[in-house]
């Protein structure tokens, strides 16, 4: 018997379209036994977007109100691609209706919201996932494997940063991203959530942190004229302490000229080191301390067939996937979790933890003090 997963997508902007495409590609590229994925419904506040995505990807129906989408009995998986501020309400409604939920990052606006969403999802017994898509980059998955297998030994340090420059232009107009009320946070939230998630994924739980968040441009012009206040960080710097004494440094900025989509981290451990830069998505640098004295160096590994997900794409090392394909692998993980009835990773628990840490960073910066988690 074939299981049917009925997808209901809420939010038909760029990111929603990327998700839609992956529901189509997963059954074609990945192994998903005895399962059909159907794009049942889409909902967007902008009817034209909903119509366009429905035509392009074959969604069977459109709803003006996302509540109707959730109520649709053929929708079994709700995919949330709305602005951050709506994540909580939609996810809670979906969970209450017993629908699985795949939610864009960051999970919510605060630690309290994230916890509520996680607890509701667990209580409802649904599968839930938040889209920290870098967990699925083959280089990250391979790093995780090396760390799990002990090839790197004990971790000493993790340092990372996610820097961009899209907001370095002082004339960039104000949007909802620049308000705490609508975005929850600035660069620490929008980009830092990826860095925090990976730090937890690769190294473990964070116990303490101190943070320094800054606003470089306290006002931005409004498209409609006048200016609006910016009350979220343009940059954030964090010192982290992990359980077990590992030290960490994180940095985010969206006013860092020249850094286009630069998510970089390094791990130093007792048996070697790892270095990654998302702008070179298909590379992982590995240093093995066991190499002979005169042959030591970071090795540039091109990810491909011998590595995680190598079988999905059938690509030789050096050919390379794109960022969209990390979304494909996330959608695969979500669908796999439903099919196998086992937890997805990263779950709402992970999303909640990241939200807590973002919140703690904001509090630490305000109080000018270390905080414990």
Looking at residues 233 to 292 of the shown chain, list those that interact with a second copy (rule: CB under 8 A).
234-235, 237-239, 241, 245, 247-249, 251, 253, 255-262, 268-273, 275, 278-282, 286-289, 291
Q: Which residue has the tokens 């009320």?
A: 181
Distance, CA of 332 to CA of 351 (rounded, Å): 18
71, 216, 228, 373: which one contacts a second copy (CB under 8 A)? Answer: 216
228, 301, 363, 373: which one contacts a second copy (CB under 8 A)? Answer: 301
Query: Which of the residues 92 through 131 are near a second copy (CB under 8 A)?
Result: none
The nearest distance, CB 96 to a second copy, in angstroms, is: 33
**Residue 314 makes contact with a second copy by CB under 8 A:** yes
The tokens of 68 are what?
Answer: 């109707």
**Residue 219 makes contact with a second copy by CB under 8 A:** no
37, 80, 315, 357: which one contacts a second copy (CB under 8 A)? Answer: 315
What are phi and psi for residue 153, nearest 5 degrees? 75, -145
Exposure string for 70-82, b = 16+ CB within 10 A, e = fewer: bebeebbbbbbbb
| Interstrand relation of 272-277 and 283-288 (parallel, antiparallel or unpaired) | antiparallel
**Residue 86 makes contact with a second copy by CB under 8 A:** no
What string of H, E and C letters represents the secondary structure of 42-93?
A: EECCCHHHHHHHHHHHCCCEEECCHHHHHHCCCCCEEEECCCHHHHHHHHHH
Toward a second copy, which CB reaches closer, 76 or 278? 278
**Residue 222 makes contact with a second copy by CB under 8 A:** no
Toward a second copy, which CB reaches closer, 229 or 324? 324
Tally of CB atoms within 10 A around 56: 12
134, 242, 313, 332: which one contacts a second copy (CB under 8 A)? Answer: 313
**Residue 38 makes contact with a second copy by CB under 8 A:** no
**Residue 298 makes contact with a second copy by CB under 8 A:** yes
The nearest distance, CB 97 to a second copy, in angstroms, is: 29
User: At 362, is the secondary structure helix, strand, or coil?
Assistant: helix
Query: Which of the residues 42 through 61 are near a second copy (CB under 8 A)?
Result: 56-57
98, 244, 306, 343: which one contacts a second copy (CB under 8 A)? Answer: 306
Query: Which of the residues 155 through 184 are near a second copy (CB under 8 A)?
Result: 156-157, 159, 161, 163-166, 168, 170
Toward a second copy, which CB reaches closer, 96 or 289? 289
Q: Which residue has the tokens 């993790």?
A: 158
Toward a second copy, which CB reaches closer, 204 or 320? 320
Query: Among 299, 245, 253, 247, which residue's Cα sits nearest to residue 272?
Result: 299
The nearest distance, CB 197 to a second copy, in angstroms, is: 18
**Residue 336 makes contact with a second copy by CB under 8 A:** no
98, 150, 297, 343: which one contacts a second copy (CB under 8 A)? Answer: 297
Asked if 346 and 114 touch (Cβ cutoff 8 Å), the reply is: no
The nearest distance, CB 136 to a second copy, in angstroms, is: 13
Toward a second copy, which CB reaches closer, 45 or 317? 317
Distance, CA of 78 to CA of 195 (rounded, Å): 26
Distance, CA of 322 to CA of 87 (rounded, Å): 27
Asked if 196 and 250 touch (Cβ cutoff 8 Å), the reply is: yes
Distance, CA of 81 to CA of 98 (rounded, Å): 19
> CA-based diameter of the chain, in Å?
66
The nearest distance, CB 93 to a second copy, in angstroms, is: 29
The CA-based angle 243-347-373, given to 5 degrees, is 30
Tally of CB atoms within 10 A around 342: 10
**Residue 370 makes contact with a second copy by CB under 8 A:** yes
Toward a second copy, which CB reaches closer, 65 or 169? 169
């Amino acid at each position: 018997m074939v299981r049917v997963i009925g997808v209901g997508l809420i939010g038909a902007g760029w990111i929603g379209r990327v998700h839609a495409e992956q529901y189509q590609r997963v059954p074609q590229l990945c192994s998903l036994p005895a399962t059909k994925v159907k794009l049942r419904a889409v909902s967007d506040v902008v009817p034209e977007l909903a119509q366009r995505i429905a035509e392009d990807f074959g969604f069977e129906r459109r709803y003006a109100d996302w509540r109707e989408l959730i109520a649709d009995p053929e929708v079994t998986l709700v995919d949330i691609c709305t602005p951050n501020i709506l994540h909580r309400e939609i996810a809670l409604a979906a969970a209450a209706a017993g629908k699985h939920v795949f939610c864009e990052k960051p999970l919510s606006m605060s630690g309290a919201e994230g916890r509520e969403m996680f607890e509701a999802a667990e209580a409802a017994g649904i599968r839930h996932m938040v889209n920290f898509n870098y967990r699925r980059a083959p280089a990250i998955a391979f790093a995780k494997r090396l760390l799990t297998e002990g090839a790197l030994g004990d971790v000493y340090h993790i340092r990372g940063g996610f820097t961009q420059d899209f907001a370095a232009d002082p004339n960039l107009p104000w949007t909802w991203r620049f308000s705490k009320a609508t975005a929850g946070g600035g660069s620490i939230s929008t980009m830092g959530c990826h860095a925090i998630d990976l730090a937890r994924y690769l190294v473990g739980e964070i116990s303490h942190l101190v943070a320094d968040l800054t606003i470089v441009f306290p006002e931005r012009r409004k498209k409609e004229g006048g200016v609006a206040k910016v009350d979220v960080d343009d940059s954030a710097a964090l010192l982290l302490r992990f359980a077990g004494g590992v030290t960490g440094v994180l940095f985010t900025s969206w006013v860092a000229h020249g850094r286009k989509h630069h998510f970089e981290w390094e791990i130093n451990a007792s048996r070697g080191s790892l270095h990654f830069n998302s702008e070179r998505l298909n590379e992982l640098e590995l240093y093995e301390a066991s190499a002979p004295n005169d042959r030591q160096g970071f090795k540039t590994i091109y990810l491909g067939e011998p590595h995680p997900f190598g079988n999905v794409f059938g690509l030789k090392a050096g050919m390379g996937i794109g960022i969209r394909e990390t979304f494909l692998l996330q959608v695969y993980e979500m669908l796999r979790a439903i099919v196998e009835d086992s937890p997805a990773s990263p779950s709402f628990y992970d999303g909640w933890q990241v939200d807590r840490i973002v919140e703690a960073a904001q509090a630490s910066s305000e109080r000018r003090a270390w905080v414990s988690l």
